[in-house]
Chains A and B, each alone.
Chain A
Amino acid sequence: SYDLTQPPSVSVSPGQTATITCSGDKLGDKYACWYQQKPGQSPVLVIYQDNKRPSGIPERFSGSNSGNTATLTISGTQAMDEADYYCQAWDSSTGVVFGGGTKLTVL
C-alpha cells in the first residue's frame, strides 16, 4: 500500500508563514493536492496539481511537490485559516490516498 505522512499538528502566529508537509515514496512523481476542513464542514480543495489554486482560494495559499515531499504554505496566516489540512495523491496500488491530516493552530 502507499502511505502519505503528515505532522499531526502545526502552530503559527498570526501574520506568519505556516508550512505543512506531506511525505510519501516518490511523491514528487505524482500530483498532490490539499484540502482544508473546518469543524463540522466538508473538506474544501485549496491546492490541486501540486501548486494550482481553485477559484476563490486566497493567494496566500501555495503548494510545491518535489522528491518525496509535498508542501502547503500559507503566507500571512490568518485566524480563519485555523483548520485541519489533508494532502491527497493517487497510487496505482491503492487508488486515492489521503494523508493523516494536520491540525493548524493559529495562536
Chain B
Amino acid sequence: QVQLQQWGAGLLKPSETLSLTCAVYGGSFSGYYWSWIRQPPGKGLEWIGEINRSGNTNYNPSLKSRVTISVDTSKNQFSLKLTSVTAADTAVYYCARGQVDTAMITAYFDYWGQGTLVTVSS
C-alpha cells in the first residue's frame, strides 16, 4: 500500500522560505510525477508543481518564480521550497502521486499525503 508522509515547519513569518518534505512508502518511485498542491483555508485546490524521479519539473506559472521542487531518490523523498512567503501563502499543503498517461502528462492523483497547515503571520 502506497503511503505519503509529509512534514515541515507550520508557522512562518512574511518573507521567510517555506520548506516541506514528502516521503513515499510502498510502491515504486519511478514512472510517476510527484506533486505539491495547496488549499487556502475555506478555498479550493491549487497545483504548485511536480517532479519525477529524473528530476524533471513542471511548475504552476503563477508560482514558478518562487518555487523549487527537488527529489532525493536515495530516500524516495521529494521536497518543496517556496520563497518570500506572505499571508496569501497560508494554506494546507499536500503532496500527491500523479499518474502519468501516454502523453506523459499528469492525468490524476491517486495517493495524497495527510496535509500540512502552513501559517504565515508576523
A93 to B113, CA, bound (A): 26
Chain B residues lying within 8 Å of A93, measured Cβ to Cβ, are 61
Residue pair A95, B114 in contact (C-beta under 8 Å): no
Chain B residues lying within 8 Å of A42, measured Cβ to Cβ, are 94, 112-115
Residue pair A96, B112 in contact (C-beta under 8 Å): no
Within 8 Å by CB of A45, from B44, B58, B94, B108, lies B108
Classify chain A's interface size.
Answer: 20 to 34
**Beta-carbon nearest neighbor of B44 in chain A:** A101
Mark interface residues in B95-113 (1 if CB within 8 Å of A CB, else 0).
0001101000111111011
- Is B45 interfacial (CB-CB < 8 Å)? yes
A54 to B111, CA, bound (A): 11
CB B97 to nearest CB in A, in angstroms, measures: 10
A interface residue numbers (CB < 8 A to B): 1, 31, 33, 35, 42-45, 48-49, 54, 86, 88, 90, 93-101
B interface residue numbers (CB < 8 A to A): 35, 37, 44-47, 49-50, 58-62, 94, 98-99, 101, 105-110, 112-115
